């Protein structure tokens, strides 16, 4: 019988290891795999999967059911006008945010909400704005108001409406609108002038009137003004993003537009 080199010594090692239980495992490996393989260094331990960071807790003054600083009113607490707002917000897809959004806050002022709803529908759907113009106006207002809830709700809508990602980035990061389509640039510059500078220069007004005409320019300012009204509600009552929703609006240091 042919003896494999090293096997005899390995057998002796095994016999001796029987007297020392702590060496038994090593001796067994020596017999099965030989001294070279037994001495091989073990590989790195498997990496544990990364843990997902827990979602930040809502502030202490936020109602856990409504997502803002007031409790969500029940349908039976409302008048007939309130029922319409409640039912519209409770139907999935009827509006962007459902009742954890402007509609939930507006249940506290059903008469004004009813009037604003008529104005909002006209400005959004019947004033003649393209979805692109409308969403650029909304995003510019949300950015200048630094309203995370509005921005996060409307950025996907703007992309679906055909607003290029490059235009959204100009608004989001307050970049210069130079080189953009003139109408896009005018909306962005006008929103910045109204909400941040609090003054519209004559030359910008001339460009805006040339782009939209007097009547549509008035409606454009009203459209952005209505969006600013909603931003004021969301800010005052500290509306929180829906659970699991990632914030899309970054915080910026100062004015970065050139």
The C-alpha angle with vertex 71 and arms to 58 and 236, in degrees rounded to 5, equals 65
Q: Where are the domains of the chain?
A: 7-35, 62-114, 127-258
DSSP 47: P
At 74, is the pLDDT very low, low, confident or very high (cuts 50, 70, 90)? very high
Which CATH class name applies to 127-258?
Answer: mainly alpha
Percent of residues, the chain, with pLDDT higher than 90: 70
Q: pLDDT averaged over the chain?
A: 84
pLDDT in tens, 20-73: 444 444 444 444 444 444 344 455 555 554 444 455 689 999 999 999 999 999
Answering whether pTM is above 0.85, one says no
Give the C-alpha separation, 76 to 7, whole Å: 88
Count the Cβ atoms, other than its own, within 10 Å of residue 5: 9
Query: pLDDT above 70 covers what percent of the chain?
Result: 76
């Amino acid at each position: 019988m042919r003896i494999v080199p090293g096997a005899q010594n390995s057998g002796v090692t095994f016999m001796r290891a029987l007297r020392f239980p702590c060496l038994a495992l090593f001796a067994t490996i020596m017999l099965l795999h030989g001294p070279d393989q037994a001495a091989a260094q073990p590989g790195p331990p498997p990496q544990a999967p990364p843990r997902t960071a827990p979602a930040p807790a809502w502030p202490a003054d936020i109602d856990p059911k409504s997502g803002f600083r007031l409790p969500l009113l029940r349908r039976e607490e409302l008048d007939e006008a309130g029922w319409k707002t409640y039912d519209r917000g409770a139907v999935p897809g009827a509006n962007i945010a459902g009742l954890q959004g402007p509609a939930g806050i507006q249940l506290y002022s059903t008469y004004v909400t009813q009037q604003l709803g008529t104005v909002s529908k006209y400005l959004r759907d019947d004033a003649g704005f393209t979805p692109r113009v409308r969403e650029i106006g909304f995003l510019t207002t949300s950015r200048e108001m630094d309203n995370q809830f509005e921005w996060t709700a409307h950025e996907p809508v703007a992309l679906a409406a055909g607003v290029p990602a490059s235009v959204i980035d100009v608004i989001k990061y307050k970049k210069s609108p130079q080189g953009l389509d003139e109408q896009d640039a005018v909306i962005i510059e006008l929103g910045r002038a109204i909400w941040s500078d609090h003054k519209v220069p004559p030359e910008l007004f001339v460009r805006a009137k040339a782009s939209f005409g007097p009547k549509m320019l008035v409606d454009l300012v009203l459209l952005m003004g209505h969006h600013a009204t909603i931003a004021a509600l969301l800010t005052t009552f500290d509306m929180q993003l829906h659970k699991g929703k990632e914030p899309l609006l970054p915080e910026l240091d100062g004015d970065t537009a050139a």
